[in-house]
Structure 1
Amino acid sequence: MAIYSIGDVAERCDINPVTLRAWQRRYGLLKPKRTEGGHRQFDDEDIQRIEEIKRWIESGVPVGKVKVLLSGDNVEVHDGWAALQEEMMMVLRHVRPAKLRARILSAGREHSVDALIDHVFVPVRQRLGLDQNTARTMCSLLDGALIDYVVFCLNASRKKAGKDALLIGWGNEDRTRLWLEAWRLSQQGWRIDVLAEPLDHPRPELFPGQHIFVYTGNKLSHRQQEQLFHWQDQGFSIAAHVS
């Protein structure tokens, strides 16, 4: 079995060593072995646990509650966003499409688009992504309901004054996230149309005179950044949408 130092783990998992030490000492999330000299040693199981901890935290779970979740026990949440996430998860577990659509509609009326995307829908989809079996079905159900609702919202926004734009996924296969980002842009005064199929090589020349947003899901690579500058130098109205 491979053994890693704390520096190796920090680089491999893209996390600060100080954070790893805090997860161990303050929160008891990690239990690395020690060398005779007292240096921490991590194995592949530790790496997997660290990645799972990261996913929980990125989904909006406070670090102090992660240990209970890792043990498989239920955790009482007091954070409003976490409570709404749990409500969505409960509806999904019972496979109630009509109730799910109604809850999404209600949440859309109660909260801002940015907050819902960042603190509810994206975290819930990340949590479902931790399980590749039953959760895949629930995630598919959620994705269908989200896209259905976003299409409704985009149609409504096109009836208002605004600027027309086209959103294209660039090298990112997460179609649901693409629609969520279209919804986000529609709240910024854009009347958005979506190219539903993500592209590896967008061709802005096919859309003359249109303003284009490209969404990669991550920071643009060096190659993508150079390509974007090239398109802009050619006179295309194109920009990267960063969520």
Structure 2
Amino acid sequence: MNIAETTGYPIREFARLTGVNPVTLRAWERRYGIIQPLRTPKGHRYYTDDHVDQVKSILYWLDQGYPIRQVKLLLNEPPADPARASDDWEQLQNRQLSAARDLNSRALDDEWSNGLASYPMGVYYERCLLPVLDTLRQSPDEALILHAFSHLLQRKLTQLVQLQQKHAEGPGLLMCTNDQQAELHILAASYALGAAGFRLEYFGVNLNPDDVRIVSDRLDFSWVWAHIHPSNSDEQQQWQALSDKCRVPVYFSGAIPKTTAEDYVLKPPMNKQIQTFITHAGGFA
């Protein structure tokens, strides 16, 4: 048996440990020459603990705002001024804004497919998708553009999550949110965690905290992730009580209830939330 098969991780296990989609791992290897896995005699990819450390370094530089095309150089020679990142993200944002304003759904879909092949979902959401959404939200004259962009992105993420979950066999995770405005965040997080091998469910924005408890029990989930949009005090109290009523750990992001224990707080940005959750769930130590 090849040594890689006894000491390494196959690509799906490595994706679960690191939270980086297998599609992205392959793109990093083929397009950018980083994360070069071992190979079995049959050609299957296997990764080592050294590769886990490399992913941590890559995610660090991506979190600083550097594009993936610069990361290989940064891994070998960190810049004298780490604050000076490339403007590639601005170019990606502008292309999406242009396609959105033209109501060009095909161009948007191509942009998203290319972006998600190159970046982990958490990084891409924070550095590209969220700035585009914020730009459109700040322009009252572009309400139609915002609606179309949000609808198309929601549809794209839903399709990706559904495709992932057809063969998901990992531990169960219930994703939920309390407001339509927070749905894109929970869908993006769902896609990121689906890439890490979690078996997850999302039933839309209409579940209240009591519903969440019932569903998590009935479907035998191991965790709940609730992304909370700012709400009135009565609703906030209901979400605060969920942790006590639910038999499984409840993690919170967004407008986090004040009584949430620190271990169950998922602080932004999204990529940090993903890494924190995976670490708590037994991977990416």
The TM-score bracket by the shorter chain reads 0.5 to 0.7
Shift of 1:167: 0.8
**What is the number of equivalent residue pairs in this alignment?**
164
Any stretches of 5+ residues in structure 1 without a counterpart?
A: 1-59, 61-76
Going from structure 1 to structure 2, the CA distance change for 1:125 and 1:237 (only over 3 Å counts) comes to same
Question: Where is the helix percentage greater, Structure 1 or Structure 2?
Answer: 2
1:240 pairs with 232, 252, 271, which one? 252
TM-score if structure 2 supplies the norm length?
0.50
Gaps of at least 5 residues in structure 2 are 1-64, 66-84, 254-265, 271-285
Secondary structure of the corresponding residue to residue 204 of structure 2: strand
Residue 182 of structure 1: how far off its partner (Å): 1.7
1:20-76 Cα offsets, whole Å, 9 max, x none, are xxxxxxxxxxxxxxxxxxxxxxxxxxxxxxxxxxxxxxxx9xxxxxxxxxxxxxxxx
1:157 aligns with 2:164: yes
Q: Which amino acid aligns with 1:223?
A: Q
Structure 1: how far apart are the matches of 2:87 and 2:209?
A: 41
Distance in 1 between residues matched to 2:252 and 2:160, nearest whole Å? 22
Where 1:196 maps in the other structure, the secondary structure is: coil
Using the TM superposition, give the Cα deviation of residue 143 of structure 1 relative to its aligned residue in structure 2, in angstroms.
1.4
Q: Which runs of 4+ in 1 moved over 4 A?
A: none
Q: Distance in 2 between matches of 1:183 and 1:155?
A: 9
* 1:178-217 CA-partner distances (Å, limit 9, x unpaired): 3222223323332222121244544334212223221114
Partner of 1:125 in structure 2? 133
Contact kept, 8 Å, 1:157 with 1:186, in 2: the verdict is yes
Give the superposition deviation at 1:224: 5.9
State the TM-score, normalized to the length of structure 1.
0.58
Bigger radius of gyration among the two: 1
Question: In structure 1, what is the equivalent of residue 192 of structure 2?
Answer: 184
Distance 1:226 1:201, change over 3 A: closer
1:136 matched to 2:146? The reply is: no
> Is residue 214 of structure 1 aligned with residue 221 of structure 2?
no
Counterpart in the other structure of 1:17: none
Give the aligned partner of residue 28 of structure 1: none
> % of aligned pairs identical?
12
Tell me the C-alpha RMSD between the 2 structures: 2.9
Q: Which residue of 1 aligns with 2:244?
A: 230
Aligned residue for 2:203?
A: 195
In the alignment, is residue 169 of structure 1 matched against residue 169 of structure 2?
Answer: no
Residues 173/92 of structure 1: CA separation in 2 closer, same or farther (3 Å cut): closer
Secondary structure, aligned partner of 1:146: helix
